């Protein structure tokens, strides 16, 4: 099922952020040496939600919501956030990097698709994609 409206894409983005936050919270309990980094990522995920929701609510109107600004297939951005119990830290980091790649792709695609109709929302999505790209270096340093 394709997501077409701003509301559906914002809801999907919230789901992705919550899923990845739970993933990082589970890593924090499994790998206490890097607990702070993983908890910081989970906290930042929830800040991302506020960031794009604020952008959305500040510009949305019935006229815009009635338009179809997106063509997002949620299956394209599914996260493998299953617990990594018993896995070594390298496997956990590999999985985290896959999640970050998927989310960066989602935010970049959503920003590109909506840039002509929702100026503040694509700007927020682009900023979040850049911040998530920066996480990759932090994750690589944990290996």
- Give the tens place of pLDDT for each residue, 18-43: 999 999 999 999 999 999 999 999 99
1 part of a folded domain: no
Q: Characterize 73-106 residue by residue with b for buried, 16 or more Cβ atoms within 10 angstroms of its Cβ, and e for exposed.
A: eeeebebebeebeeeeeeebbebbeebbebbbeb
Domain contains 97: yes
Range of the domain at 62: 6-76+85-142
Cα distance between residue 35 and residue 25, in whole Å: 8
**Domain assignment present for 20:** yes
Q: How far is CA 79 from CA 21, 37, 68, 103, 116, in A?
A: 11, 20, 25, 8, 28
From the CA atom positions of the chain, what is the Rg in Å?
Answer: 16
Mean pLDDT of 1-14: 91
The per-residue b/e assignment along 19-33, b for 16 or more CB within 10 angstroms, e otherwise, is bbbebbbbbbebbee
Residue 90 domain flag: yes
List, in order, residues 6 or more apart from 23 with CB less than 8 Å away.
79, 81, 95, 96, 99
Task: Supply the CATH number for residue 118's domain.
Answer: 1.20.1260
What are the tens digits of pLDDT across the range 60-100?
765 455 466 788 999 999 998 887 777 889 999 999 999 99
pLDDT in tens, 98-137: 999 999 999 999 999 988 876 788 899 999 999 999 999 9
Identify whether 60 is part of a domain: yes
Residue 128 confidence (pLDDT): 97
Q: Residue 64: what pLDDT?
A: 52
- To the nearest whole percent, how much of the chain has pLDDT over 90? 69
- How many domains does one find in the chain? 1
Cα(97)–Cα(137) distance, rounded to whole angstroms? 10
């Amino acid at each position: 099922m394709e997501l077409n409206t701003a509301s559906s894409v914002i809801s999907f983005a919230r789901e992705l952020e919550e899923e990845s936050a739970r993933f990082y919270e589970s890593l924090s309990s499994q790998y206490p040496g890097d607990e702070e980094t993983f908890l910081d990522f989970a906290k930042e995920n929830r800040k991302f939600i506020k960031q794009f929701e604020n952008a959305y609510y500040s510009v949305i109107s019935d006229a815009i919501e009635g338009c179809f600004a997106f063509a997002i297939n949620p299956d394209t951005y599914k996260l493998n956030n299953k617990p990594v119990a018993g896995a070594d830290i390298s496997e956990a980091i590999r999985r985290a990097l896959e999640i970050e790649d998927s989310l960066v792709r989602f935010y970049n695609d959503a920003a590109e698709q909506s840039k002509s109709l929702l100026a503040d929302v694509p700007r927020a999505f682009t900023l979040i994609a850049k911040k998530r790209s920066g996480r990759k270096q932090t994750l690589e340093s944990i290996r």
